[in-house]
Amino acid sequence: MPTHEKPTAQPRSAKGRLERAMGDLLGSDELRDLPGAGRPLPPDPDADAGDEWAARHVLRTAAALPPWAELRRDIGERRARIVTRLRAHQSWLERREALVGRLPAERIVGEVALTREADRRVRAEVASAVGEVNALIRQHNLQVTTAALHLRTVSADELLEIARTRR
């Protein structure tokens, strides 16, 4: 024969203990000088989220970004590094050109060859970096939810033009 157990009064007693503890705390001076005491709580920015309130609240308070936003930031940082590298290279090329103009005739051919080789190497590095950025841009464009957020792929020439104009 099944026994019918009487529900325990723990939830009520726990609630009563909690209410008593809160009353004692409010009656003491411990909470008196807290910032914002006596003012209403600020409105909840996630109040309009409905059933998705908890998810939106956690994302906002954790400063979490969607994967495409983090990818977009990475793309921006990489583009900036490429432009910085191109600016430094352009500056180096200008210094090399000035150096070649001061060299004796017998050294000019060798120095020009070294400069061209270094320039070729840097351009290959930049082309590789641009390829990586464009791969990330394509990945980003697949992840975003609207075409308005799509990024254009870039070329080394475009970034070189940016490096030359924005010094």
Question: 65-75 pLDDT, tens per residue?
Answer: 888 999 999 99
In the chain, pLDDT over 90 holds for what percent of residues?
A: 54
Residue 23 inside a domain? The answer is no
Burial environment of residue 133 by CB neighbours within 10 A (0 to 12, 13 to 18, 19 or more) = buried
Note the pLDDT of residue 23: 82
The answer to whether the CB of 151 falls within 8 A of the CB of 140 is yes
> Domain count of the chain?
1
Note the pLDDT of residue 31: 72
Note the pLDDT of residue 26: 74
Note the pLDDT of residue 12: 63
Task: Name the nearest CA neighbour of 156 among 101, 85, 77, 71.
Answer: 85
Q: Pick out the chain residues at pLDDT < 70.
A: 1-12, 166-167
Residue 59 amino acid letter: L
Angle between helices 105-143 and 156-165 in degrees, nearest 10: 110
Note the pLDDT of residue 86: 97
Note the pLDDT of residue 155: 96
Domain residues for 138?
Answer: 67-165
Residue 118 inside a domain? The answer is yes
The answer to whether the CB of 110 falls within 8 A of the CB of 130 is no
Residue 51 inside a domain? The answer is no
Residue 24 inside a domain? The answer is no
Residue 29 inside a domain? The answer is no
For the chain, how big is the Rg over CA atoms in Å?
32
